[in-house]
Amino acid sequence: MGIFVKNKIKSRYSLPTDAVFNKLRLTEFSRLDKLGQTYLDYTGGNLHPKSLLHEHYNLLQESILGNPHSTNPSSQMATKLVEGARKKIIDFFNAEDYYCIFTSNASGALKIVGECYPFEDNGHYLMTSDNHNSVNGIREYCKSKGAEYTYSPIRQEDLRIDEDRLMENLDSFKDKKNKLFGFPAQSNVSGVKHDWAWVKTAKEKGWDVVLDAAAFVPTCKLDLKEVQPDFVTVSFYKIFGFPTGIGCLLVKKDSFPKLKKHWFAGGTVDYVSVKESNHLLIANHERFENGTLNYLDIPAITLGLEFIESIGIENIRKRVMDLTGLFLKEMSSLKHDNGTPIVRMFGPMNTENRGGTVILNFQDTEGNTFPFDWIENQANKQLISIRSGCFCNPGIDETNHCVSNEEMAQYYTSRKEKEFDSTTGYLRYMSKMIGRMRGATRVSFGIATTTKDIETFVNFVSKLKNKSASSIK
């Protein structure tokens, strides 16, 4: 549990940003310390501030909200709040040139792009090897429509994209009519921030661009006047914790006709006929908002974005970078008595062009790796929330552990005879098959993180000093 002295969080570390953010911890996120928990999984999901829940509860308690698809008073009130949230999103991202489509999450937004992009018309899909599986998954729509896809590789030494290879790929496929390039603004695993200039370069070379911004926008400003991908995906719980189950797809208005919806649902049509078997889709964002929107929770987005604005996104970015720099320094300093590092970190070892997400493995005196699931289990006992595995980003894990095409092919052949009930089971089997450990531990920082949290984690890792990986059970 965190230690408090005169309303200050006591830690052996000190950062310039402590005063403001320690106060936030005491007022908006005090439940962490009341419950004795150390939360270091902000890339998995942010924590909601207490005031957001109170304001949203008061709004619901004092309002009569009905299904928006009507002219009655309750419907109109809900419509007003939903459209207010939509405008807030547009303003927050400086996205006047975009439609805002509400979705279930960022994955749901990416699904719309995959379903509706015209790969079937002489198309091609280019991805970076650093991508969340929801971006990788679009390749299946690409394949089903008779098109092909290409991955642009990662450099193993720093987990950044090999830019020379990327430019070669962007210069290729000149005979293709519909070309889609997908990459993350920030890696959900390594924390690497990828180059905004790729958007302009790709578009100049005839590519449409889908930008996965889910891991980027919780701590950084996204200005869609400055950079203009065709499609941008966001999850709001990643930014301010509540509500879950709501994201959005931002579609550049002049790219909107490119998305071809092949079906319709309630709320997406201006006209539909049974007798003539015909329909007319709504001309704007509503054609992709199937059925009834989550009109009771969408208004919380306005409140959440106002909370972020009250702190300042640049202040949040600086805070997370301060924490990340401290963490990298402290992890690098941890050694066994024989001088062997306890921690092996992957990706950039400084805060330049990276976010507050770090992946690492833990090693014994002989350099043997402690199993990632054992590490997570030990952290669980200390009420420390971290995450382990490959984090829905197989490209980084395969790069980190030098998994070859032949080894992956061998695994999928063997899988016909052996099924697994979890990702952990899969990674264990792969590790045994290829003779080296797969998977890692991920730590990430956010608004509510304090230096005391980092101190707690440093103390946790220090207990591995001089311990043998072969001795654990």
> Which residue has tokens 């009834």?
292
Name the nearest CA neighbour of 28 among 49, 9, 4, 42. 49
Determine the Cα–Cα distance for residues 80 and 413; give it in Å rounded to an integer: 55
Which residues are CB-neighbours of 373 under 8 A, at least 6 positions away? 388, 389, 424, 428, 439
Rounded distance between C-alpha atoms, residue 458 and residue 329, angstroms: 11
Using an 8 Å Cβ cutoff, are 213 and 185 in contact? Answer: yes
Which residues, in sequence order, are bridge partners of residue 343? 362
Is the link from the previous residue into 153 a cis peptide, with omega within 30 of 0? no
CA dihedral sign of residues 153, 156, 158, 159:
positive
Which residues does 23 contact at the CB level (< 8 Å), separation at least 6? none
Marked catalytic residue, from 142, 220, 248, 392: 392
What phi and psi values does residue 107 have, to the nearest 5 degrees? -65, -40
> How many angstroms separate the CA atoms of 457 and 443, rounded?
10
Cα gap 10→62, rounded to integer Å? 40
Q: Is 392 a catalytic residue?
A: yes
Q: Please give the Cα distance from 354 to 348 (Å, whole number).
A: 7
Strand order in the sheet with 231-235: 98-103, 247-252, 231-235, 208-212, 178-184, 123-128, 148-152
Please choose, from the candidates 337, 341, 329, the residue with its C-alpha nearest in 3D space to the C-alpha of residue 367: 341
For 322, the token pair is 């301060």
> With contact defined as beta carbons under 8 Å apart, do 200 and 173 qualify?
no
Residue 302 near residue 321, CB atoms below 8 Å? no
Q: How far apart are CA 275 and CA 281, in angstroms?
A: 17
d(CA 328, CA 351): 9
Q: DSSP string covering 40-100, please?
A: -BTTT-PPPPHHHHHHHHHHHHT-----SSSSSHHHHHHHHHHHHHHHHHHHHTT-TTEEE
Helix (H, G, I), strand (E, B) or coil at 124: strand
Total Cβ atoms within 10 A of residue 254? 11
Q: Which residues are catalytic?
A: 392
